[in-house]
């Protein structure tokens, strides 16, 4: 499992390399991007499903789709191997629902496979034609119609079978590999017997396990981890990012099934999440801000008062906070009750250095972590808020606005797009804080550049958020006006600019800010902005307005100038911003 | 007690345990609860437990035979798969239980476990470590415990 993950990661790196450095890959990248723009176009044509977007490398499966596929696979195996549906189902389950593998193993060594799965050739077992049989579980004798057996022929009464299968079903998914009760037998008990002998409720549970097995045992499919969502995602390995978005609009990383976390890699995310949840931070705090009672070792925080400490009952030990020695040793001899020269002199000899330094370091690292965590969490809650606002917009405001401004709702999709962009940006921004936390301290140039990019991203997003929230509100009150068209242009423009900026940001961070390495600290800013401009140039090719240089610095260069207000890259001749009409500074 | 509607299977098993006991094993139901058995297993020959008489208790839960019987050593025993409360690490008492097994087969399996301790799947970490690092010495301790705790019964 591990090695496989490694392999994925390795693929990942390779594909990114190709993605960003080879010219050919750019073209395919552009196709992908067109798909996104098509989706946006469709959306403005009035399609309801603004949130979901289908990309080539994954398929979303609803419960019916899953059942259908399962049925299809069983039918295939049935007809190719000429076995019962029951047996086909067990075979497929054994080989993780991989039809090719079933074929391969079956035709390589049918006997071996039959043995492993518990499919007996029952042609030479002849059940008695009449009389009674003895049940191996309840030890009673029954007429033949009350007796059943798996392919092996071991007889048990129907009541005992029902109890046996039901116990197994209620024990969990292990019921899918149920065998004959005789321990040495191994004959499989399949779906046919389950259907024949158990209650409706148990049958339902069994079918549920079978369905789950289809998704969980296969390497190509995973459940959407969103609570209450019944969809699964089928993912095509190789190429592209792991981010997938389910019909329920939840975005997650297919590789690690955490929420979508580009630009941060899966390993960092798991480290970060572990760190957030781990007791380690509590321990760090205790270490930094408390000392253990010298007698009972309970941690004590000193928040005020003198150095004379008295531990809580039942310990009640009295000691000096500074030297942790017994208080009764203190007095005139140690420099008075309010000073402890034993501590001072011992400190000079270096006796406390080790524990003091540890305490100091813990404090620093705690503060550093708190800094990043707070911002990570704030963006998380901003994102939740934005999602709620988006919902509100869809359900309430849009209709209102449509009435006020005399615009059909389909013409107002640009507002939803802006909000979707805000939600996405909050997500990215959130993860940049995990990125920042793990960016090594000593990489000064990278840190500087990273913080610059992050700051710009934050500013850009604030502008968009401001426009989509505050400015929009005025139009909810006013009656129809020309201003509204200007507003549309501005908000749509900001959305595009912000999207491009964040895409470039994600790319740059996923590259490990490699431009800084390549060009050295001094020239890093300009070189990356060129790169960013180049990337977005190739992406914005579908006439959505000129979008290059969203991540650029403010300095004018040969190709144009970036607007102070909205960061839009204008042509060098323009005197005011084509996007937001701010005059050139 | 609820002995009145005891399943036929339990009655039959009990009768057979009493009429044709397995060698080295005795199991008799308690008078006031037919689901509770007093068990004695003789230490198998050529094992460190040879010569010992080990007391166990065995209880058939309501779900029996769909659920495994609950068995526990009452006599102190030095064995890597048995802890100091007498609980036994044996697959057929857990996930490998099958209703086609019986009290008799369970007790025979426990007897076999005494002959062949399995320190690779330990219940008692310390004893297992002892067994693996110095088997001769561990076997000596087991013999000693057998003499001390399992001889008088």
Contact between chains at A138 and B7 (C-beta distance less than 8 A): yes
What value does the mean pLDDT of chain A take? 77
A66 close to B (CB below 8 A): no
How open is the CA angle B34-B36-B37, to the nearest 5 degrees? Answer: 100
* pLDDT score of A540: 34
pLDDT for A333 beyond 70? no
pLDDT for A302 beyond 90? no
* pLDDT score of A124: 61
| Paired tokens of A440 | 């090594």
Helix intervals (H) in B69-118:
103-115
Best CA proximity match to A300, nearest among A324, A277, A327, A325: A324
Split at pLDDT 50, 70, 90, the class of A25 is very low
Contact between chains at A138 and B98 (C-beta distance less than 8 A): no
Q: Does residue B119 lie within any of the structural domains?
A: yes
* pLDDT score of A20: 39
Split at pLDDT 50, 70, 90, the class of A502 is very high
Backbone dihedral region for residue B70 (phi beyond 0: left; psi -120 to 50: alpha; all else: beta): beta
* pLDDT score of B41: 96
* pLDDT score of A531: 41
pLDDT for B4 beyond 70? no
Q: Does residue B139 lie within any of the structural domains?
A: yes
Active-site residue, from A89, A157, A266, A306: A306
Mean pLDDT of B125-145: 91
Best CA proximity match to A110, nearest among A80, A76, A71, A86: A80
A182 close to B (CB below 8 A): yes
* pLDDT score of A524: 38
Known catalytic residue at B124: no
Instruction: Read off the DSSP letter of residue A467.
Output: I
Contact present, A551 and A529 (Cβ < 8 Å):
yes
Using CB atoms, pick whichever of A138, A167, A181 lies closest to residue B9.
A138
Residues of A in contact with B66 (CB under 8 A): 163-164, 167
Sorted by sequence, the CB contacts under 8 Å of residue A95 that are 6+ apart come out as A101, A102, A105
Q: Does residue B29 lie within any of the structural domains?
A: yes
- A486-495, A562-571, B29-38: which has the highest mean pLDDT? B29-38
Residue A363 exposed, middle or buried by CB count within 10 Å (0-12, 13-18, 19+): middle
Contact between chains at B100 and A139 (C-beta distance less than 8 A): no
Between residues A508 and A33, the one the model is more confident about: A508
A136 close to B (CB below 8 A): yes
Contact present, A247 and A266 (Cβ < 8 Å):
no
Percent of chain A with pLDDT over 90: 29
Q: Does residue B153 lie within any of the structural domains?
A: no
* pLDDT score of A22: 39
Helix intervals (H) in A22-62:
23-44
Contact between chains at B98 and A181 (C-beta distance less than 8 A): yes
Mean pLDDT of B11-34: 93
Residue B35 exposed, middle or buried by CB count within 10 Å (0-12, 13-18, 19+): buried
Q: Which residue of A has its CA nearest to B12?
A: A139
Q: What are phi and psi of A510, to 5 degrees?
A: -65, -30
pLDDT in tens, B59-92: 999 999 999 999 999 999 999 999 889 999 888 9
Instruction: Tell me which residue range forms the domain holding B52.
Output: 6-148
Q: Which residue of B has its CA nearest to A155?
A: B100
Shortest Cα–Cα distance, A132 to chain B (Å) = 17
Shortest Cα–Cα distance, B54 to chain A (Å) = 27
Mean pLDDT of A474-498: 84
Question: What span, in angstroms and rounded, lies between the C-alpha atoms of A242 and B25?
Answer: 62
Which of A138, A141, A153, A156 to probe by mutation at the B interface, max B CB count within 10 Å?
A138
Burial letters A6-45, b for 16+ CB under 10 A, else e: eebeeebeeebeebbeeeebbeebeeebeeeeebbeebee
Counting the structural domains of chain B, the total is: 1
pLDDT in tens, A8-23: 444 444 444 333 343 3
Q: Does residue B32 lie within any of the structural domains?
A: yes
Shortest Cα–Cα distance, A182 to chain B (Å) = 6
Between residues B107 and A295, the one the model is more confident about: B107
* pLDDT score of A320: 79
pLDDT in tens, A60-74: 999 999 999 999 999
* pLDDT score of A577: 76
Least confident of A194-198, A403-407, A433-437: A403-407
pLDDT for A263 beyond 80? yes
* pLDDT score of A340: 64
* pLDDT score of A13: 40
A–B: how many Cβ contacts below 8 A?
34
Contact between chains at B8 and A137 (C-beta distance less than 8 A): no
pLDDT for A6 beyond 70? no
* pLDDT score of B153: 47
pLDDT for A91 beyond 90? yes
pLDDT in tens, A37-63: 333 334 333 333 333 344 468 999 999
* pLDDT score of A278: 67
Residue B142 sits in a domain whose CATH number is: 3.10.110.10
| Paired tokens of B82 | 């048995």
Contact between chains at A138 and B8 (C-beta distance less than 8 A): yes
Contact present, A233 and A221 (Cβ < 8 Å):
yes
Between residues A432 and A237, the one the model is more confident about: A432
Q: What are phi and psi of A557, to 5 degrees?
A: -135, -170
A172 close to B (CB below 8 A): no
Q: Does residue B1 lie within any of the structural domains?
A: no
Contact between chains at B9 and A181 (C-beta distance less than 8 A): no
- Extended strands (E) in A227-347: 232-235, 243-245, 251-253, 291-292, 299-300, 308-310, 318-320
pLDDT for A392 beyond 80? yes
For B106, how many CA atoms within 13 A lie in the half-sphere containing its CB? 34
Question: How crowded is residue A522: how many other Cβ atoms within 10 Å of its Cβ?
Answer: 9
pLDDT for A279 beyond 70? no
A140 close to B (CB below 8 A): yes
For A135, how many CA atoms within 13 A lie in the half-sphere containing its CB? 25
pLDDT in tens, A101-135: 999 999 999 999 999 999 887 656 666 667 888 99
For chain B, the residue count is 153
């Amino acid at each position: 499992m591990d090695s496989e993950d490694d392999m994925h990661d390795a693929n990942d790196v390779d594909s990114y390399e190709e993605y960003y450095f080879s010219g050919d890959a750019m073209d395919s990248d552009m196709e992908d991007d067109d798909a996104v723009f098509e989706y946006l176009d469709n959306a403005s044509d009035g399609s309801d499903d603004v949130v979901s977007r289908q990309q080539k490398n994954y398929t979303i499966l609803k419960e019916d789709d899953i059942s259908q596929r399962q049925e299809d696979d069983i039918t295939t195996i049935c007809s190719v191997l000429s076995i019962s549906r029951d047996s086909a189902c067990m075979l497929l389950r054994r080989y993780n629902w991989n039809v090719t593998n079933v074929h391969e193993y079956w035709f390589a060594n049918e006997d071996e496979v039959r043995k492993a799965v518990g499919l007996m050739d029952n042609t030479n077992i002849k059940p008695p034609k009449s009389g009674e049989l003895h049940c191996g579980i309840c030890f009673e004798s029954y007429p033949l119609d009350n007796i059943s057996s798996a392919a092996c022929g071991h007889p048990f009464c129907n009541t005992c079978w029902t109890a046996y299968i039901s116990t197994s079903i209620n024990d969990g998914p292990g019921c899918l590999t149920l065998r004959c009760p005789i321990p040495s037998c191994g004959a499989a008990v399949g779906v046919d017997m389950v259907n024949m002998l158990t209650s409706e409720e148990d049958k339902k549970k069994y079918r549920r396990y079978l369905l789950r097995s289809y998704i969980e045992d296969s390497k190509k499919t995973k459940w959407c981890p969103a609570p209450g969502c019944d969809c699964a995602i089928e993912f095509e390995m190789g190429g592209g990012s792991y981010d997938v978005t389910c019909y329920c609009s939840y975005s997650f990383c297919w590789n690690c099934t955490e929420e979508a976390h580009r630009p941060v890699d899966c390993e960092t995310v798991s480290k970060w999440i572990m760190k957030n949840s781990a007791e380690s931070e509590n321990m760090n705090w205790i270490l930094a801000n408390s000392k253990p009672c010298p007698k009972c070792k309970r941690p004590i925080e000193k928040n005020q008062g003198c150095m004379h400490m008295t531990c809580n009952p039942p310990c009640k030990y009295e000691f000096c906070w500074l030297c942790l020695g017994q208080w009764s040793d203190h007095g005139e001899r140690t420099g008075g009750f309010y000073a402890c020269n034993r501590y001072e002199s011992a400190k000079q000899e270096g006796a406390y250095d080790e524990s003091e330094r540890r305490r100091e370091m813990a404090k620093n690292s705690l503060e550093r972590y708190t800094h990043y965590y707070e911002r990570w969490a704030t963006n998380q809650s901003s994102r939740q808020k934005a999602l709620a606002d988006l919902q509100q917009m869809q359900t309430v405001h849009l209709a209102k606005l449509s009435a006020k401004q005399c615009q059909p709702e389909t013409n107002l999709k640009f507002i939803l797009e802006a909000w979707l962009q805000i939600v996405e940006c909050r997500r990215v921004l959130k993860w940049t804080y995990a990125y920042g936390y793990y960016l090594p301290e000593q990489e000064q140039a990278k840190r500087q550049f990273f913080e610059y990019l992050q700051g710009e991203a934050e500013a850009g997003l604030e502008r968009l958020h401001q426009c989509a929230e505050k400015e929009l509100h005025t139009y909810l009150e006013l009656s129809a006006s020309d201003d509204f068209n200007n507003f549309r242009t501005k908000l749509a423009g900001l959305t595009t600019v912000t999207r491009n900026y964040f895409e470039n940001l994600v790319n740059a961070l996923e590259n490990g800010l490699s431009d800084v390495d390549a060009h050295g600290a001094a020239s890093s800013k300009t070189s990356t902005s060129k790169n960013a401009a180049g990337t977005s140039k190739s992406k914005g090719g579908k006439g959505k307005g000129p979008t290059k240089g969203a991540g650029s610095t403010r300095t004018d260069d040969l190709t144009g100038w970036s607007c102070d207000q909205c960061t839009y890259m204008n042509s060098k001749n323009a005197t005011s911003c084509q996007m937001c009409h701010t005059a050139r500074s | 007690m609820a002995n009145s509607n005891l399943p036929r299977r339990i009655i039959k098993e009990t009768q057979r345990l009493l009429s044709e006991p397995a060698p080295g094993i005795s199991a008799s139901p308690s008078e006031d609860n037919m689901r509770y058995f007093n068990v004695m297993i003789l230490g198998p020959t050529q094992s460190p437990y040879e010569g010992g008489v080990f007391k166990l208790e065995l209880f058939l839960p309501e779900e029996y035979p769909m659920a495994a019987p609950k068995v526990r050593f009452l006599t102190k025993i030095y064995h890597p798969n048995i802890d100091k409360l007498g609980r036994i690490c044996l697959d057929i008492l857990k996930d490998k239980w099958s209703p086609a097994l019986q009290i008799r087969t369970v007790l025979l399996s426990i007897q076999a476990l005494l002959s062949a301790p399995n320190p690779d799947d330990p219940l008692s970490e310390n004893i297992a470590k002892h067994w693996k690092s110095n088997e001769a010495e561990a076997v000596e301790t087991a013999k000693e415990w057998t003499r001390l705790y399992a001889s008088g019964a």
